[in-house]
Structure 1
Amino acid sequence: MIWIMILLFFLLMFFGVPIAFAMGASALMYIMVEGIPLSMVAQQFFSNSQSFAFLAIPFFILTGSLMVHGGIAQRIIKLADTMVRQLPGGLGCVSVVTSMGMAGVSGSSVADAASVGSVLIPEMKRKGYSSSFSAAINASSSVVGIIIPPSSTMIIIAWLANLSVAQMFLAGVIPGILIGVAFLFFTIFISIRRGYPREQRATFSEFVTSFRNAIWALILPIVLIYVIVFGVATATEAAALAAVYAFLVGTVVYRTLNFKKIVASLVDAVYGTAIVMFIVSTSTIFTWVLISESIPKMLGEMLLGLGIADWGLILLLVVIMLLAGMVIELVPNLFIFIPIFFPIAQTLGMDPLHFSIVMLCTLALGLFTPPVGSTLYISIHLAKIDMEDTIKDIMPFFLVGAVVVLLITYIPALTLWVPSIFM
């Protein structure tokens, strides 16, 4: 029955059923056929959502929403513009650097793709960039939004793997920057080959002005990481403080948040939280069934029994996650792979914190790959093109990201060095 459940899960996804409903329905089928009391469904559905750590998620989503509706994206875009617009493919470089800056503000790849892409994709098309390349840059660079802290996805991983949120945030700094820089250099390389335009170098006074306008947004991630790392506040408390900070910056400092925008921010936060927590809840039921049938243990023993060298088995885990990221959304993948792959990684001698970041970066690449890439869907909508038209431009970014993931996988210091300094 467990294999029928898994088959039903993939069949439902194949016919277009949303991933959260597919996981919940297949698990419910198993529970009913096996005669397990339905009260277990309700218990598993609500048990994990009652975690105090998960309370940080709506606050982080609200913070990002307040920042975006308060015009923070435009200020960060302007700052990035004064920094890198003189490079080959200047607007493409601005898109990548802006995504890296927005990562510390919104903590959401989807929000970054929407807010940055809505401004830069039309402008890039107007300046002669192809629609597919404009969409590819926006979709790929926005994935750093969940890798560079703060990140609500990191909170989910930390809770599932019983890790420190503070350590997770610190561990994501270098990998997130590495992926962003790799995309930046690749954008420059492609722009030189295609002859995309450079923009006029910004003056020093322009840079100072744009930096001064964006400084309140740039301070936020620094303060957040400081209070969490040094124990001033828990991740949940820091998230609540961040929401208050975003509200005050938008209403008092920038004066761009009016009543209508505040209501829109609250609505976005409600929708965003509901989506994330519904996926978490249905994934919990599915994972509970797998664990109760010892599927993670069985698969782990099977993989360890293949007789592959440690480095080869680690590579196999990464490849499996890369492929899974293309067809299943990120959060459900976490609930599936953490129980299965974490014991294997520990058996192979990998630090749990290191492997958690490897998993995050690997699955994040699926956000901009077909057929389910959320940032890709947003970007092609903004660029007004079909998904098929972006394949030739999106796959090179995927390959570049995969190379960086391998570097992060086989060089643990890239992940563990920053946490070792502060923790």
Structure 2
Amino acid sequence: MSILLMIALLFVLMIIGVPVAAALALASLAFVATNGMPPMIVLANMVNGVNSFPLIAVPFFILAGSLMNTAGITTRIFNFARAAVGWMHGGLGHVNVGASVIFAGMSGAAVADAGGLGNIEIKAMRDAGYDPDFAVGITAASSTIGPIIPPSLPLVVYGVIADTSIGQLFAAGLIPGLLMAFSLMLMVAWYARRRDYPRDERFSLRWFALSFRDAFLPLMTPAIIIGGIIGGVFTPTEAAIAAVAYAMLLGLLVYRTLNWRNILRVSMDTVETTAAIMLIVAASTIFAWILTANQVALHFANGLLGITENRIALILLITLIVLVIGCFMETIAAITILTPVLLPVAVQLGIDPVHFGIILILNLMIGLLTPPVGMVLYVLSKVSGVPFERCVTATAPFLVPLVAVLLLLTFVPALSMWLPTLAYR
């Protein structure tokens, strides 16, 4: 079996509904079996793929985000964002983006943002008379900020695959995440003018102070995680454990909104989610190993250089490839497969691995808003009751500012590299 047949088999299996992890494993096994390779290679590579200390951070960041959701902390965050930016025209649209920025520093996952804050945000916007399509569109787009601003599960996985500092990746994601928020708020302002969306309420210093007091301890979560990592107090893995301990402290002792039954349920959900992610990482590791062993990265680089030697054109071509693949493949699987193939090409073009990681993840986050995979759209369709097809059309206009930020980050590396350079180099 050739590499092209293996890739074709993978996409056929995914199209007919086979789970991503199973499709990756079956395609890899078919290649190994038909090329006379010992089957134990598959198991050995799958085990090595998940035998990584930094990956321990994945379940803890998932658990921390779930505990924050269950403890009702998302409501406090939403109220603070409402007091801070709700006075602007189209206020609840701005609140939607602001709350996502804050929650991004706790969860690190777009789906968690969409499922946790999304329910609160869409209901509030509907009650205030906003169009359901606008509410769904801005909620979907703002949820993609989660995996860019640290902590970020995709950046952890990329750091492991690319053998790149996760601390530097976290530092690199902060400014791009804020740029995404700013671009989306500009889009909200444009919609507010066209549709005459109201202010939520007039700015009140008293309400702002009260909401800040209520949200102060949750707002400290990003400071603990990011400050601790950049300050060298703990590693990203230790930061994930600290985030869980802090979430439990808030839920059990401070707000008393958590009980042991809730913790057990959230823990079981975390186990289930982590198992799914680790299966995808393990299966995609063997797939990526086959690609690497057959020098696919070298052939791919030569193929691109055969098309054009213009650096800008090559970068745009790589961006387009990732955007298309992101429409069809789950994020973690795409990172594990694409990184060994595309990173050597990016380095050859003079792109820093940390910078490339931010470009890759933002590309794939945009893929979460596009069919047929579009996990965020499926979650919001369920949360809002809006049909999936309407979610797709409602989100489409908000892809414009996200793609604009992607291109800006791609061609102005300093936007993502300034903080890592300042903190680590």
The TM tier, using the shorter chain, reads over 0.9
Per the alignment, residue 30 of structure 1 pairs with 31
TM-score when scaled to structure 2?
0.97
The whole-number CA distance in structure 1 between the counterparts of 2:335 and 2:379 is 22
Kept after mapping to 2: 8 A contact 1:369/1:398: no
Matched, 1:366 2:364: no
Q: How does 1:217-296 map to 2 (within 5 A)?
A: 217-296=218-297
Per the alignment, residue 124 of structure 1 pairs with 125
The whole-number CA distance in structure 2 between the counterparts of 1:398 and 1:373 is 13
Residue 257 of structure 2 aligns to a residue in which SS?
coil
Q: Give the AA of the match of 1:371.
A: P
List per-residue Cα deviations over 1:128-164 (Å, max 9, x = no partner): 2222221111111001110000112111111111111
Give the stretch that moved more between structures: 352-361 or 165-174. 352-361
The whole-number CA distance in structure 1 between the counterparts of 2:122 and 2:422 is 39
Cα distance, 1:203 vs. partner?
1.4
Give the stretch that moved more between structures: 164-173 or 79-88. 79-88
Cα distance, 1:256 vs. partner?
1.1
Q: How does 1:197-208 map to 2 (within 5 A)?
A: 197-208=198-209
Residue 305 of structure 1 aligns to a residue in which SS?
helix
Kept after mapping to 1: 8 A contact 2:105/2:146: yes
Cα distance, 1:230 vs. partner?
2.7
> Aligned-residue CA RMSD in angstroms?
1.3
Kept after mapping to 2: 8 A contact 1:136/1:376: no
Matched, 1:21 2:54: no
Per the alignment, residue 404 of structure 1 pairs with 405
The whole-number CA distance in structure 1 between the counterparts of 2:159 and 2:25 is 23
Q: How does 1:159-170 map to 2 (within 5 A)?
A: 159-170=160-171
Residue 251 of structure 1 aligns to a residue in which SS?
helix
Q: Which runs of 4+ in 1 moved over 4 A?
A: none
Kept after mapping to 2: 8 A contact 1:134/1:383: no
The whole-number CA distance in structure 1 between the counterparts of 2:72 and 2:269 is 15
List per-residue Cα deviations over 1:41-94 (Å, max 9, x = no partner): 211121121211111111111111111111110010000010111222222221
Q: How does 1:40-119 map to 2 (within 5 A)?
A: 40-119=41-120
Give the stretch that moved more between structures: 194-203 or 297-306. 194-203
Cα distance, 1:274 vs. partner?
1.1
Cα distance, 1:222 vs. partner?
1.3
Give the stretch that moved more between structures: 194-203 or 153-162. 194-203
Matched, 1:171 2:172: yes
Kindly tell me the number of residue pairs found equivalent between the two proteins: 423
Per the alignment, residue 358 of structure 2 pairs with 357
Q: How does 1:295-334 map to 2 (within 5 A)?
A: 295-334=296-335
The whole-number CA distance in structure 1 between the counterparts of 2:393 and 2:297 is 36
Q: Percent identity?
A: 39
Q: Give the AA of the match of 1:136.
A: G
Kept after mapping to 1: 8 A contact 2:98/2:181: yes
Identify unmatched segments of 5+ residues in structure 2. none
The whole-number CA distance in structure 2 between the counterparts of 1:53 and 1:391 is 35
Kept after mapping to 2: 8 A contact 1:56/1:239: yes
TM-score when scaled to structure 1?
0.97
Kept after mapping to 2: 8 A contact 1:109/1:142: yes
Cα distance, 1:397 vs. partner?
0.9
Cα distance, 1:126 vs. partner?
2.5
Kept after mapping to 2: 8 A contact 1:114/1:378: yes
Q: Give the AA of the match of 2:10.
A: F
Q: How does 1:377-416 map to 2 (within 5 A)?
A: 377-416=378-417
Kept after mapping to 1: 8 A contact 2:106/2:222: yes
Cα distance, 1:316 vs. partner?
0.9
The whole-number CA distance in structure 1 between the counterparts of 2:172 and 2:17 is 36
The whole-number CA distance in structure 2 between the counterparts of 1:372 and 1:195 is 34
Cα distance, 1:283 vs. partner?
0.7
Cα distance, 1:420 vs. partner?
1.6
Residue 264 of structure 1 aligns to a residue in which SS?
helix
Cα distance, 1:416 vs. partner?
0.7
Kept after mapping to 2: 8 A contact 1:368/1:375: yes
Identify unmatched segments of 5+ residues in structure 1. none
List per-residue Cα deviations over 1:358-396 (Å, max 9, x = no partner): 111111111112211111111122221222223332111
Kept after mapping to 1: 8 A contact 2:285/2:337: no
Q: Give the AA of the match of 1:100.
A: V
The whole-number CA distance in structure 1 between the counterparts of 2:423 and 2:178 is 18
List per-residue Cα deviations over 1:14-63 (Å, max 9, x = no partner): 11222222111111111122222121121112112121111111111111
